[in-house]
């Protein structure tokens, strides 16, 4: 009887603190915009400054709804970099099974690193033709198939790289089948993004709000305000008037100028003398950022550079959705909604985005039926309930132990 009571107590706790899944309810969203498709099928819906300003930082509260009130699946599309990128990866698992396969699991260190090519360095004294399976995961547990392909080597000729539709998983797993032969020895794996087309990025207004020197750390810091969070930034360029320098730089973004997140590092340089000149004054980013960006320059013992300003190139993000030939509505402005998980997330990378219709949503409308949720009271109730159940469970366990 005591055991049943204990189980019931914890069951009640689980039901109370676990929020139930609910369909889209208009009264939970503050704003909406009309979306008018050109035709039936996949389209890109370009977000704007109003939407990004009202949304959560992670854009979890975006919802696309049909005229009948049905929720329409969408995928937030990551913009492709304009230049080839090779990403640093860490091999966190290396497995070889005789007569079966060789496999490696790669950690990309974070999500949002768009890639579409893997190149292998393989040691083998024999020619080979092998099947390759490439999978992706964001938790190193649940895996999606990215592509099935082949690699081969005949003498000095062969194909030791695999291309696939752009993906951005945190973890990548590569499995090379042996077909009953000696497993291949994978010495190195390079994960790259190779652009297939030139993206046209816009110049994003970036107002410099701070430009200071720190003598203790021997660094310069420039902070700029982009005016809105959520913009996909391709690169940041520094406007430097000095000649003949070579410095390390780091990039960061923030939503509030208090907590900063690293987004890249590199070097800027300018060499200029008789019969020779070369320069590199931009930092590749390829990521959605907060409203504020910061560049830190490592001066070491050299005098600070004269940085007149920074230029940011990027684009507003877009949603991919399969639309009917009718009006839809983009809802946003729900501070407590969670990330929507749709089937489309698993196969959106297979959709060719070239030549898809691009839709700009209409003017912003305020939802007059919006009702703010009192999340603070709900959370306090959950805490009190959990504490009460824990106390009751402790008492029951104590009584159960004393009777043995």
Q: What is the tens place of the pLDDT at every residue in 85-100?
A: 888 899 999 998 888 8
Residue 387 has pLDDT above 80, yes or no: no
Lowest mean pLDDT: which of 88-97, 341-350, 387-396?
A: 387-396
CA 228-138-92 angle, 5° bins: 125
Across all residues in the chain, what is the average pLDDT? 86
Q: For residue 205, is pLDDT > 80?
A: yes
Q: Where are the domains of the chain?
A: 30-78+317-366, 85-193, 202-315
Quick one: average pLDDT of 185-199? 83
Judge residue 276's burial from the number of C-beta atoms within 10 Å of its C-beta, 0-12 exposed, 13-18 middle, 19 or more buried: exposed
The reported pLDDT for the residue numbered 18 is: 43
pLDDT of 354 reads 81
Average pLDDT on 40-55 reads: 96
Of the candidate ranges 1-10, 199-208, 265-274, the one whose mean pLDDT is the lowest: 1-10
Kindly indicate the confidence band of residue 79, based on its pLDDT and cuts at 50, 70 and 90: confident
Confidence of residue 400 (pLDDT cuts 50, 70, 90): low
Please tell me the predicted confidence (pLDDT) of residue 220. Answer: 96
Phi and psi of 196, rounded to 5°?
-100, -15
| DSSP 8-state secondary structure symbol assigned to residue 312 | E
To the nearest whole percent, how much of the chain has pLDDT over 90? 59
Percent of the chain with pLDDT over 70: 85
Which pLDDT belongs to residue 385?
A: 59
The CATH number of domain 85-193, selected from 2.40.50.100, 3.40.50.10800, 2.60.120.260, 1.10.3720.10? 2.60.120.260
Q: Which residues of 95-121 are buried (b: 16+ CB within 10 A; e: fewer)?
A: ebeeeebbbbbbebeeeebbbbbbebe
Q: Using 50, 70 and 90 to split pLDDT, how confident is the model at 180? A: confident
Q: Tell me the average pLDDT across 16-35.
A: 74
What does the alpha-carbon distance between residue 175 and residue 100 come to, in Å, rounded to a whole number?
10
Indicate if 202-315 has the same CATH topology as 85-193: yes
CATH superfamily of 202-315: Galactose-binding domain-like (2.60.120.260)
How do residues 307-331 score in pLDDT, each as one tens digit?
A: 998 999 999 999 999 999 999 999 9
Q: Which residues contact 152 (CB under 8 A, 6 or more apart)?
A: 127, 128, 129, 130, 158, 159
* 213, 220 Cβ separation under 8 angstroms: yes
Average pLDDT over residues 50-77: 94
pLDDT of residue 289: 95
Residue 328, pLDDT score: 97
CA 98 to chain centre: 37
Q: What is the pLDDT of residues 13-23, one digit of tens each?
A: 444 444 444 46
| Cα(60)–Cα(212) distance, integer angstroms | 35
191-209: average pLDDT? 85
């Amino acid at each position: 009887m005591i055991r049943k009571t204990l189980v019931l107590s914890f069951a009640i706790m689980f039901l109370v603190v676990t929020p139930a899944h609910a369909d889209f309810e208009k009264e939970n969203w503050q704003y909406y915009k009309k979306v008018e498709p050109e035709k039936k099928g996949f389209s890109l819906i370009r977000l704007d400054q109003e939407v990004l300003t009202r949304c959560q930082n992670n854009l979890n509260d975006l919802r696309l709804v049909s005229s009948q009130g049905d929720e329409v699946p969408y995928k937030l599309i990551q913009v492709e970099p304009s230049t080839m990128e090779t990403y640093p990866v860490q091999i966190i698992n290396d497995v070889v099974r005789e007569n079966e396969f060789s496999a490696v699991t790669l950690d990309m260190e974070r999500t949002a690193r768009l890639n579409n090519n893997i190149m292998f360095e393989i040691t083998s004294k024999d020619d080979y033709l092998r099947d390759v399976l490439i999978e992706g995961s964001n938790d190193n547990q649940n895996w999606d198939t990215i592509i099935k392909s082949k690699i081969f080597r005949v003498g000095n000729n062969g194909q030791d790289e695999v291309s696939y539709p752009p993906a951005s998983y945190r973890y990548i797993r590569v499995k090379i089948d042996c077909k009953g032969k000696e497993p291949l020895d994978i010495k190195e794996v390079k994960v790259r993004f190779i652009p297939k087309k030139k993206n046209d990025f816009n110049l994003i207004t970036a107002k410099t709000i701070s430009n200071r020197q720190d003598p203790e750390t021997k660094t310069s810091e420039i902070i700029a305000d982009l005016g809105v969070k959520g913009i996909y930034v391709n690169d940041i360029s520094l406007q430097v008037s000095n000649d003949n320098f070579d410095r390390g730089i780091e990039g960061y973004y923030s939503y509030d100028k208090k907590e900063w997140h690293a987004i890249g590092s590199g070097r800027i340089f300018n060499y200029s003398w008789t019969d020779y000149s070369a320069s590199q004054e931009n930092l590749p980013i390829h990521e959605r950022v907060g409203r504020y960006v910061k560049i830190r320059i490592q001066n070491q013992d050299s005098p600070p550079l004269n940085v007149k300003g920074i230029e940011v190139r990027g684009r507003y993000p877009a949603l991919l959705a399969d639309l009917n030939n009718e009006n839809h509505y983009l809802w946003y402005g729900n501070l407590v909604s969670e990330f929507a998980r749709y089937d489309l997330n698993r196969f959106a990378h297979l959709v060719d985005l070239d030549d898809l219709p691009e839709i700009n949503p209409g003017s912003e409308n305020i939802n007059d039926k919006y009702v703010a949720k009192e999340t603070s009271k709900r959370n306090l109730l959950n805490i009190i309930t959990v504490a009460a159940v824990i106390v009751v469970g402790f008492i029951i366990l104590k009584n159960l132990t004393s009777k043995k």
